[in-house]
Amino acid sequence: MQVLIHDHCHSVAAEQVLRLLGTDPSRGLDLFEIEERQERFGPNLLGERKPEGALRRFVRQLEQPLVVILVVAAAITAGLGEWVDSGVILGVVLVNAIVGFVQEGRALEAISALSRTLTPRAAVLRSGERKIIPSAELVPGDVVLLQSGDRVPADLRLLRIRDLQIDESALTGESVPVEKAVEALPPDTSLAERRNLAFSSSLVTYGTGIGVVVATGDTTQIGRISEMIASVEDLATPLTRRIARFSQVLLGAILAVSLLTFAVGVTRGQPWFETFLAVVALAVGAIPEGLPAAMTIMLAIGVSRMARRHAVIRRLPAVEALGSTTVVCSDKTGTFTQNQMTVREIFAADSIVRVEGSGYAVAGGLFREEQPVGPHAEAALAEVLRAGMLCNDAAVREADGRWLIEGDPTEAALLVAARKAGLREAELLREWPRLDAVPFESRHQYMATLHAGESSNVAFVKGSLEAILARCRADREAGILDPDAIHQSASEMGGRGLRVLAFARKEFPLEQKALRHADLETGLVFLGLQAMLDPPRPEAIRAVATCRRAGIGVKMITGDHATTARAIAAQLGLDVEAARPEVLTGRDLAALTDTELLERVQRASVFARVSPEQKLRLVEALQARGHVVAMTGDGVNDAPALRRADIGVAMGLAGTEVAREAADMVLTDDNFATIEAAVEEGRGIFDNLLKFIVWTLPTNGGEGAVLMLAILLGTTLPILPVQILWINLTTAVCLGLTLAFEPKEAGTWSGRLGIHTKRS
């Protein structure tokens, strides 16, 4: 019943959902019904899956073909009485196995991290009384009360709301809090658009609401992601796939040559025991005993180098996987962009003013046609900026060299824009002290504040363009401009991916000290528009260009709106061949067959409003096209794709614990440019690994050839197995590892390593 109701509850009326669940919204569930449902559905917890045993995980580290060869070599040398050499080889095997065991163990913490995201307590209605209970005791049909600051304890169908806004970024990728509604939606509404639902683990940022539980535990959206993480198969990296294939070929070649040599020696009348010992020496000489140790040390050196460039590697083979990457799929907010809303354009007095500077730092200024503009010289511009600063509940402050905000990011952007023009909150509030305020409500789509003036009190209003214009006076003398021109300007701003807010004012008598919605129904004077955007990082633009020159494709996969994603993609240069990069939405992806997706995924650069399942599907489609995929993410919704990708990259600052545990690499600065730097380092490390392998194989081949020739000629062995072991281990570790410190070749980052740019 949970799954059936959960999958369709957004498309039916709330009353019908309540009937299906047998719940009275004014009383909640009765105690007897609660006990029966707790037995039926179990606790509201994510299921604990029995992890693979530690012993089994350790043994699996020894199942790699190259390691098997070394174990056989250790057994043979032990059988010959060479205990020191056998111990050295086993030591190399154990060191590599322990490193892999420890690194893999950390990755298995991803699912247990999901269990820790559920809120421990929830406010519910039961038998007509409001109670605070552990969230684990919730059952389908419980009526839950939400308020600002709460973490949603289960998946809810909303019944009643008041200005409810919920931050769902960790689950859907939406970069700003979502304004909720209660009306039924079309059946094909995507997950990110289901505004009449509240999802488990999301955070209430504003307002209040009442909802009925439609899913608990593993049947919630976050529970389904947990199932996906558990079921996603970890892929071997390009390096481990090549080494496995190389080891199999090497093992087959050594066995074939050894058997052939033994047969020839015995056929020629040589004593079989002496011939066997000689063949053992031949096999030992051909095995590159120092290769696993050298690889581990070289990859560890790469980990250290990348850490200095803000990339923390969680699994050693991931170092090389970065160098093999052919496509980078990245989230938008915080990775490509600064995650700081910034006013970019202001429409006032029938013209547009451009705002320079990014983020919340007060740096930049206002320009019209490349000429600086001051608000004191233009009354209309000053009014728009003043309205944005006074009709505002946010605060921006600097701490430890970083600009921090308190409140809504949109309102913070308005404060910063006014500061860039020279306005200051303290001075304005002294001149225009606040008397009252009408908070934002979704049904009214505006916020207003009343301020005391010298000759009259003034209300400043901000909100959606439609809500503001509908309340403005029509005569031009009063300040209202041509509505068609305003709509055209707003449409052009929206086409550039900007979020547009409209501003107005209205005067009241000095004796009026309170403000009501009825006071703002008519008579507003239109002031202008402010349009904002989370701007791209300048270093991300350069990094995208560098990746493209190196033959690495870059794709944006985001939960944000298609228009905003397209605008950011154009600024980043994701698709330089097209003026408007192709965008596929989650709804588009749902309509594509697997065959169609394989074709479209190659061409499209931007994927917007996608669900966790679709992110995973995109990664698999790119891998099916032969790509080595690096996937970045920060939310719970990204975890399955992070685990499936050849190299999963999580955000260290804004990322969730679940995403970090599922990833192979963590960025300590959440910057796409760091990915580009890490890929560059990975290519250099792979190049040095190739140099080491090319250097060490002729040594083993030469030793094997000399021994084989001696056996065939029936002469005394020129070198003993213990001497071969000593040479192989000492030369590989002491001499060959100098190649690990080789600087990157000039052609490494320009695409010269095309030999490994496809998945094996």
Q: At 484, which CATH number?
A: 3.40.1110.10
Same domain (yes/no): 137, 176:
yes
- 489 shares a domain with 389: yes
Q: Indicate whether 489 and 570 sit together in one domain.
A: no
**Residue 476 belongs to a domain:** yes
pLDDT tier at 664, thresholds 50, 70, 90? confident
- The pLDDT value recorded for residue 312 is 78
Same domain, 163 and 309: no
Strand residue runs (E) in 452-573:
457-463, 499-508, 525-533, 553-558
Residues 388 and 317 occupy one common structural domain:
no
Residues 498 and 602 in one domain: no
Residue 647 contacts residue 234 (beta carbons within 8 Å):
no
| Residues forming beta bridges with residue 346, ordered by sequence position | 353, 530
Pairing of strands 155-167, 647-651: unpaired
Percent of the chain at pLDDT exceeding 70: 79
CA–CA separation, 469 and 657 (whole Å): 45
Confidence at residue 333, expressed as pLDDT on a 0 to 100 scale: 72
- Is residue 133 scored above 80 in pLDDT? yes
Among the candidates 625, 657, 679, a domain finishes at: 679
Q: Express as a percent the part of the chain with pLDDT over 90.
A: 19
Residue pair 474/524 in contact by the 8 Å Cβ criterion = no
Residues facing 130 on adjacent strands:
125
pLDDT for 99 beyond 70? no
Highest mean pLDDT among 313-317, 660-664, 724-728: 660-664
**Which has more confidence, 469 or 232?**
469
Residue 164: Cβ within 10 Å count: 27
Window from 29-33, 548-552, 678-682 with minimum mean pLDDT: 678-682
Within a domain: residue 705?
Answer: no
Rounded mean pLDDT, 492-501: 86
Model pLDDT, residue 756: 37
Q: Which of 25-34, 79-88, 327-336, 563-572 has the lowest mean pLDDT?
A: 79-88
Are 40 and 159 in a shared domain?
A: yes
Is 710 domain-assigned? no
Does the pLDDT at position 87 exceed 50?
Answer: yes
Question: Is the pLDDT reported for residue 706 higher than 90?
Answer: no
- Residue 651 contacts by C-beta under 8 Å, 6 or more apart in sequence? 331, 334, 335, 632, 633, 634, 659, 660, 666, 667, 670
Tell me what pLDDT residue 757 has.
38
Based on the fold, state whether residues 349 and 498 are members of the same structural domain: yes
d(CA 181, CA 191) in angstroms, rounded, equals 14
pLDDT tens profile 547-577: 888 788 899 888 777 888 888 888 888 865 5
Half-sphere exposure (Cβ direction) of 279: Cα atoms closer than 13 Å: 20
pLDDT the model gives residue 114: 41
Mean pLDDT of 433-437: 93
Domain termination residue (choose one: 224, 240, 265): 224
Comparison of pLDDT for 334 and 16, the residue scoring more: 16
pLDDT bracket for residue 347 (50, 70, 90): very high
Higher pLDDT, 619 or 96: 619
8 A C-beta contact, residue 449 and residue 460: yes
CATH of the domain at 632: 3.40.50.1000
Select the highest-mean-pLDDT range: 236-250, 443-457, 675-689.
443-457
Whether 195 is in a domain gets the answer yes
User: Are residues 515 and 557 part of one domain?
Assistant: no
What is the average per-residue pLDDT within 272-277? 72
Rounded mean pLDDT of 188-195?
A: 82
In a domain, 408, yes or no: yes
- d(CA 17, CA 9) in angstroms, rounded, equals 6
In SS3 terms, 457-483 reads as: EEEEEEECHHHHHCCECCCHHHCCCCH
Structural domain of residue 200, as residue ranges? 2-47+118-224
Report the interhelical angle of 272-286 vs 65-79 (nearest 10°): 140
173-186: average pLDDT: 81
Domain annotation covers residue 740: no
Q: Contact 491/470 with Cβ under 8 angstroms?
A: no
Return the pLDDT at 110.
42
- pLDDT tens across 413-432, in order? 999 999 998 899 999 999 99
Q: Does the pTM of the predicted model rise above 0.85?
A: no
Would the pLDDT of 292 be above 90?
Answer: no
First to last CA, the chain: 44
Contact 670, 649 (CB under 8 A): no
Domain-ending residue, one of 631, 658, 679: 679
Structural domain contains residue 263: no
Segment among 255-264, 372-381, 458-467, 593-602 with least mean pLDDT: 372-381
Q: Do 485 and 411 fall into the same domain?
A: yes
Residue 558, φ and ψ in degrees, nearest 5: -140, 155
pLDDT, averaged across the chain: 79
With respect to residue 363, please indicate whether it lies within any of the assigned structural domains.
Answer: yes
pLDDT of residue 551: 82
Going by pLDDT thresholds of 50, 70 and 90, the confidence category of residue 394 is confident
* Residue 12: CATH number of its domain: 2.70.150.10
Q: 515 with 571, same domain?
A: no
pLDDT of residue 143: 94
Sign of CA dihedral 349, 393, 165, 180: negative
Measure the CA–CA gap between 348 and 337, rounded to whole angstroms: 27
Secondary structure of 239-255 in the HEC alphabet? HHHHHHHHHHHHHHHHH
Cβ count near 108 (within 10 Å) = 13
Q: Which of 82-96, 394-408, 682-696, 705-719 has the lowest mean pLDDT?
A: 82-96
Indicate which residues carry an active-site annotation. Answer: 331
| Residue 211: band (very low, low, confident or very high) from pLDDT cuts 50, 70, 90 | very high
Q: Are 449 and 413 in contact (CB under 8 A)?
A: no
The CA distances from residue 139 to 48, 209, 211, 616, in Å, are 19, 18, 13, 30
Q: Which of 25-34, 268-277, 294-303 is predicted most confidently?
A: 25-34
In the prediction, which pLDDT does 760 show? 38
State whether 312 and 205 are in the same domain. no
Higher pLDDT, 498 or 406: 498
Number of domains in the chain: 3
Per the CB < 8 A criterion, the answer to whether 590 and 562 are in contact is no
